[in-house]
A and B are shown apart, each in its own frame.
Chain A
Amino acid sequence: MHEDDLKLVGKLLSRQHTAFREFFDDYFPRLFRFALRRVNGDQEAARDIVQAALVRGVRKLETYRAEASLFTWLCQITRREISDHLTRTTREKPYLQRLVELEDDPEHRATLESIPADAEAEPEAARHREDLAALVHATLDYLPSRYAKVLELKYLEDLSVEAIATRLGVTAITVQSLLARARQAFREVGSTLLPSIGGAE
């Protein structure tokens, strides 16, 4: 049961504007990235998809039961919108449908994957870094937003525990505890997306 998400939905249903701001500012960027990765970086398409998904989501808020996290629930709605978008797009551009079919065909995929890497390894390495970055970003998006935030403050902004505590308005001990839980959550979520990490702290 995702109590925090359920509370947020309760506040949204009782028309609290601060809750709407919190909801939108938290979920729109995460869903946008979720969609963007699935539409080959087409920002316009990702925007339309996420807008449609969020509109559908807020209309169905009453049906949210907190069996999954709110983000996962919204991702399910977004997936449907992406599917509709891809159906429309591939209808308009049949060659894309053909490409998808090729990618999904195990024989063709094996053939594609057996193509030797370019002798010049740099592009391959760059692509690997991009893929890895996308997976790390996806992992952060799946975390509760306060976990993602504390991890980014620590590792991207390179802030000390004390500085993070000041920024978040909590004690240093709370930050240490939050960081530990956030790393653990990152590891758990990342273990499904990033095969290269796993194990307990």
Chain B
Amino acid sequence: MKQDYERGSDAPDDVGRLIALAGRRPAPDAKMQESVRGAVEQAWNATVAQRNFRRRSLWLSAAATVAAITVGLLWLGVGREPIAPSDAATFVAARGEARIGGVPDHELVVAGSRLPSGTTVRTGASGFVLLTVASVGVRIGPDTTLKLGRPGRVTLSSGRLYAETAAPAAPGPTFVVATPFGRVSHLGTEFQVVVASGSMDVSVRSGRVRVAEANGPVNTLTRGEGVEVVRGGTVRRIAVTPYGASWSWVDTLEPDFPIDGRSLADFLAWYARETGLRLVLLGGRTAAAVGHTTLSGSIAGLTPNQALAAVMATTGFEYDMTAPGELRIRMRGAARRT
């Protein structure tokens, strides 16, 4: 066989015989290939999303500068909404159908823009908006109308809002949501308010919230508690789970969590906060190990669940969420505990 190739007299056949002799190239196991595909696809999605965001931000910065010179005070909505002397919120991001003040397309609003008091934010069926109001992260869901008042105050006429702070006692004015059914005051927590035509629901994921009904008593709610206020004054206390379908819209537009250089422990704490799940580290060495595991890359553009799958695939840990309300982490290969 070897001599045939060296002769080179019938080159195509020589190549063919070599290939035939070698046989098929071994293919990786299909299941293995799919598991790797998932992890690589997540990384690809995150990389491209981050790149597109960078490029869009750059373009928008340039566009905003030009717009500022040529159009002047369009963004401030002169003649459309009253200009208040103070800033009420900072714009972070938006997706889908969303109108910020007098600007019909949220793509024209640059991340970091200050929004004055009096600005109205409206979202359509596909719209989500992320703002910072008095150090509180505020996520505005679909079909919502919200007006910024004086610093720390917003009026939610309809739709849904989610508020969160990383630090329980952030300095500055208290964040208060005024609704047709009463006022909800933030006391260092995560909660959502849903205003429909005939009622308001307040649900607390963590911390405490004070709900002052219109012309009625004051309720203080803690984790797992909620209240439903119906037009006409009927009030009903309800038990809420801090995770699950009623919170799922919150994941649609979450603040970016830069993982590069952060520990796995930081990431898991963020994930648990985002999803309302309780983090359980199984095994004596797991807590120390997640603290010593440093992450790299980015999860920009991924939902928390996608981010969890992508991050965990590159670590020596595994997770399961079969226990209600819990995210369980163990070292890969460690014995399972039921």
Contacts and interface: CB of A to CB of B under 8 A. Distances in A.
Interface of A: 12-15, 20, 24, 28-29, 32-33, 36, 43, 46-47, 50-52, 54-55, 58-59, 61-62, 129, 132-133, 135-137, 140-141, 151-152, 154-156, 179, 183, 186-187, 190, 194, 196-201
Nearest to B43: A55
14 contacts: A28-B37, A29-B25, A29-B33, A32-B28, A43-B32, A58-B44, A59-B43, A59-B297, A135-B22, A140-B19, A151-B16, A151-B19, A152-B19, A197-B6
Interface of B: 2, 5-6, 8, 11-12, 14-29, 32-33, 35-37, 39-41, 43-45, 47-49, 51-52, 297-298, 313-314
Contacts of B16: 151, 154-155
Given A133-B21, A151-B19, A196-B2, A33 B33 contact: no
A137 to B, nearest CB: 5
A190 to B, nearest CB: 8
Nearest to B27: A29
Contacts of B5: 194, 196-197
Contacts of A136: 18-19, 21-22
B106 to A, nearest CB: 20
Nearest to A57: B40
A197 B33 contact: no
A47 B36 contact: yes
A52 B44 contact: no
Contacts of A183: 11-12, 15
A9 B286 CA distance: 39
Given A20-B44, A197-B15, A198-B8, A129 B21 contact: yes
A175 B288 CA distance: 59
Contact of B51 (A13, A140, A179): A13
A84 to B, nearest CB: 13
A50 B26 contact: no
B51 A137 contact: no
B13 to A, nearest CB: 9
B19 A54 contact: no
